[in-house]
Amino acid sequence: MPSWQGRSRGNKTGFRIFVWVLRTGGVRPAYFLLSIVSIYYFFFSGKSSRFLYVYFRQRLGYSAVRSILSIYKNYYRFGQTIIDRVVFMSGIPHRFSFDFEGEDHLRKMVEENQGGLLLSAHVGNWEIAGHLLQRLNTKMNIVMFDGEQRQIKEYMESVTGSRSARIILIRDDLSHIYAIQEALKNNEFVCMHADRYLEGNKTLTGRLLGKTARFPAGPFMLANVFRMPVSFVFAMKESALRYHFYASAPKIYSQAKTGGSEEMLNDFCKQMESCIRRYPVQWYNYYDFWEDASNVDGI
């Protein structure tokens, strides 16, 4: 079964060092330090590297050499997303610039006082996407796993400060479901990932990069039940100091028991695959995404 457990990697000391470098030298020195740290992960993260190699070699069809080089680039880009998150959330001076594609779709929803579901994936920089969504001047709810180790989480919060959006943590008692329902009924935006699930949760099956995979059923069923417009959003790193924000045109899916959810999942997979193929080293997936998917029935 998939080995992802909803937890991030790293340690408090490492975060503290990078924050000190950012505050004293800025982004460029932090990226230089990261290029060295990424070598460590490249050589000593055997399990995740094996999964990445399969992704680059088999799913994207890269050569063996290109696949190996892409593994290092993936670790380096992932580290950059964490550094960029600290920069944005803590107010450290920066020279980042942005391109916005599809923002008008979301602004129209706000103007019409219409909430909706914003679905994304572990592709690009979700924290940056959330930060950029503040431009819409509307209520945001971000659904997420409380997966960071406690010490790291507390330190990062002390550095970045409080978030402007309401955070809805996914819990075993399902209290997050009621919080999401309340937000959607109040015509607010609910932002969540739709590419990972925890073992035991309900799933749907879809095709990504030519092979069947399992996705969490919750996001797709919620929009289907509430008949809320859905937009797929991503924030991708174009270069060291430039991001590109994407948002698809909102769509309300069928209220049929499974038809609408399956159609939505199919659209999501197409959007996600488009981003992956355009930014192949920016999918931060470190477990066997496709394992056993062919043996699971959708609901």
In-domain check, residue 2: no
CB neighbourhood size of 128 (10 A): 23
Q: How confident is the model at residue 294, as a pLDDT?
A: 41
The encoded tokens of residue 173 equal 């008692």
Domain assignment present for 194: yes
pLDDT tens-digit readout, 171-220 = 777 778 888 888 888 888 999 899 988 777 789 999 999 999 999 988 88
Position 174 scores a pLDDT of 73
**Phi, psi of 43, deg, nearest 5:** -90, -25
- Confirm whether 4 is domain-assigned: no
pLDDT-wise least confident of 41-50, 75-84, 125-134, 140-149: 140-149
User: Which range of residues forms the domain containing residue 106?
Assistant: 12-294
25-81 pLDDT, tens per residue? 888 999 999 999 999 999 999 889 999 999 999 999 999 999 999 999 999 999 999
Is pLDDT of 6 > 50? no
Calculate mean pLDDT across residues 2-18. Answer: 59
Which residue type, as a one-letter code, is found at position 12? K
| Within-domain flag for 96 | yes
Of 267, 249, 276, give the one whose Cα is nearest residue 204.
267
pLDDT of residue 237: 95
Q: What is the pLDDT of residue 91?
A: 77
Inside any domain, residue 31: yes
Percent of the chain with pLDDT over 70: 85
Residue 3 falls within a domain, yes or no? Answer: no
Report the C-alpha gap between 188 and 168 in whole angstroms: 13
Residue 248 lies in a domain: yes
Closest to 250 measured CA to CA, from 232, 268, 265, 262: 232
pLDDT band at 127 (very low <50, low <70, confident <90, very high): confident
Establish if 7 belongs to a structural domain. no
Candidate from 2-6, 107-111, 228-232 with smallest mean pLDDT: 2-6
> What is the distance between the terminal CA atoms of the chain, rounded to a whole angstrom?
18
Question: Would you state the pLDDT for residue 204?
Answer: 92
State mean pLDDT over 17-21.
84
Domain of 159, CATH number, reads: 3.40.1130
Question: At 279, is the pLDDT very low, low, confident or very high (cuts 50, 70, 90)?
Answer: very high
Q: What is the count of structural domains for the chain?
A: 1
